[in-house]
Amino acid sequence: MQNFDVVIIGGGAAGLACAAALKREDGSLDVAVCEKGERAGRKLAATGNGQGNISNLDMSPAHYHGSAASLAYGIISGGGYDIKSLFDCLFVSDRSGRVYPAGKQASSLSDCLIRSCSRSGVKLLLNAAVTQIEKGFVLTLASGEKLGARTAVFAFGGAAQRQFGTDGKSYSLAHSMGHTVTGLLPCIVQLKCGTQHIKTLKGIRAECLVRAHDKGGAPLCETSGDVIFTDYGVSGNAVFYCSSYVAGKEGAYLSLGFLPSVREEEIARNVALKKELGYPDSELLCGTLHNQIGRAIMRRCASTDPKVIAHAVKNFTLPIEGSLGFDYAQVTRGGIPADEVDGCLQSKKADGLYIIGEALDVDGDCGGYNLTWAFASAMHAAKAICGGTCYD
Ligand SMILES: Cc1cc2nc3c(=O)[nH]c(=O)nc-3n(C[C@H](O)[C@H](O)[C@H](O)COP(=O)(O)OP(=O)(O)OC[C@H]3O[C@@H](n4cnc5c(N)ncnc54)[C@H](O)[C@@H]3O)c2cc1C
């Protein structure tokens, strides 16, 4: 049996970052990363539409959800971790504050971490699914091989997008260490809507102010961005953002405000003009919105009063009937609850076991918040493993 100082279970964003950070903290440590896939960092290389949105200039606590949200935000904001220092890259931010590697290639993030690991002597074991862990620690791989570790790190991610190795089965490792796992929900995901409302809109993309409401009408969130109409419902950045706020909320609905930069009164004046010019009712929004969107709004409008139509343009409601689920979600809501780890992210059930990244019960909004957590939690655990002080 090979023995290591630290074995990290999962060679994704958090696992690779933790290995690199550990070697930076203490180059003499014998560190291994077990990755069940044939390549490490596969999900990281697909992030941000292939561009790798690693962080956001707006880092407020409201962007994190789950029982570990405040622990996560405390580590991110109070830990002083420079997550960019993990990469030999330049970074840029866009108009909405999203931070990317300057080359806008997510694969460069995985490449940098893998290079950093191999430069510093981390043993990266591929096709190495950990199937069992016993306190002590003794890890069993799917091949039957056993590894010994003084310290173990759970970096096995969540249940979103199984093609990246994250099918949720690794929560059983947490159970075997005495941990619980909360209910799980897919987040940052396309939403299913009553398609009878939008069946003529398939393939159309529109910039909108999008608000989500619960079934009683209480606001859940608001954001601006693209909405893409599809055969099942809606997709696009703004929808991904809202999906985190409607997850698990039955009866929630979206309200789309088309033409975010045009005031309602201006739209009403234009509709009044078209009425005067004799446009048919179905065409009163022609030239103001994409024709199909204009007609869909007019089909719903009980009146041809310009003010009523303008109001409908700003409040196009869509009932949410679910999401495309874990196979399409970018992140998992839920995981190992916050009260089962200490401020160092060390397990309260097994000394020497640390839990980082998406495996914990914390998920961030769309916009770079999840990778920020993956990297900050990795650096935090690495520092703690090497004897550093912890956030409390
Ligand atoms: C398509 C897509 C786009 C995204 N875009 C963004 C974005 O732009 N910005 C952002 O902030 N977030 C984004 N995310 C979310 C972000 O990628 C994740 O939150 C982040 O990767 C989580 O890091 P992690 O290390 O905890 O888990 P992961 O990166 O999922 O890594 C977990 C790894 O563990 C391995 N593993 C699992 N079980 C075992 C086992 N038993 N033994 C060995 N290995 C195991 C898996 O194969 C996997 O490689 C995106 C996600 C997806 C799917």
Residues 37-65: pLDDT tens digits?
999 999 999 999 999 999 999 999 999 99
Q: How many CA atoms does the CB half-sphere of 387 hold within 13 Å?
A: 3
Asked if residue 14 has pLDDT above 70, the reply is: yes
Using the structure block, give the residue that is written with the tokens 């606590």: 61
What spacing in Å lies between the alpha carbon of 230 and ligand 1's midpoint?
26
Asked whether the predicted pLDDT for residue 195 surpasses 90, the reply is no
246 DSSP assignment: H
CA of 257 to the centre of ligand 1 (A): 33
Query: Is residue 343 a contact partner of residue 390, using CB atoms and an 8 Å limit?
Result: yes
Dihedral sign, Cα of residue 136, residue 139, residue 145, residue 149: negative
From the CA of 108, how far away is ligand 1's center (Å)?
16
Fold for the domain defined by 2-183+332-385: FAD/NAD(P)-binding domain (3.50.50)
User: Which is the closest atom of ligand 1 to the Cα of 369?
Assistant: 11
Element (H, E) at 377: helix 369-385
pLDDT for 231 equals 92
Residue 36: CB within 6 Å of ligand 1? yes
Whether the per-residue pLDDT at 223 is higher than 70: the answer is yes
32 lines ligand 1 (CB under 6 A): no
- Measured in Å, residue 14 CA sits from the centre of ligand 1 at 8
What pLDDT score was predicted for residue 384?
96
Q: State in Å: Cα 226 to ligand 1 middle.
A: 24
Residue 255: pLDDT over 60? yes
Confidence of residue 110 (pLDDT cuts 50, 70, 90): very high
Distance set, CA 340 to CA 17, 137, 159, 182, 336 (Å): 23, 18, 19, 11, 7
Q: Whose CA is nearest to atom 3 of ligand 1?
A: 47
Write down the domain spans for the chain.
2-183+332-385, 191-323
Give the per-residue pLDDT at 79: 82
Cβ atoms of 140 and 130 within 8 Å: the answer is yes
pLDDT of res. 392 = 56
Helix axes 264-276, 306-314, angle to 10 degrees: 140
- This prediction has a pTM of 0.94
Ligand 1 midpoint to CA 13 (Å) = 6
22 in contact with ligand 1, CB cutoff 6 A:
no
Q: Ligand 1 within 6 A of 11 CB?
A: yes
Q: What is the pLDDT of residues 284-303, one digit of tens each?
A: 999 999 999 999 999 999 89
**Separation CA 19–CA 7 (nearest Å):** 9
Going by pLDDT thresholds of 50, 70 and 90, the confidence category of residue 119 is very high
Atom of ligand 1 at shortest range from CA of 41:
49
Does residue 87 contact residue 52 with C-beta atoms inside 8 Å? no
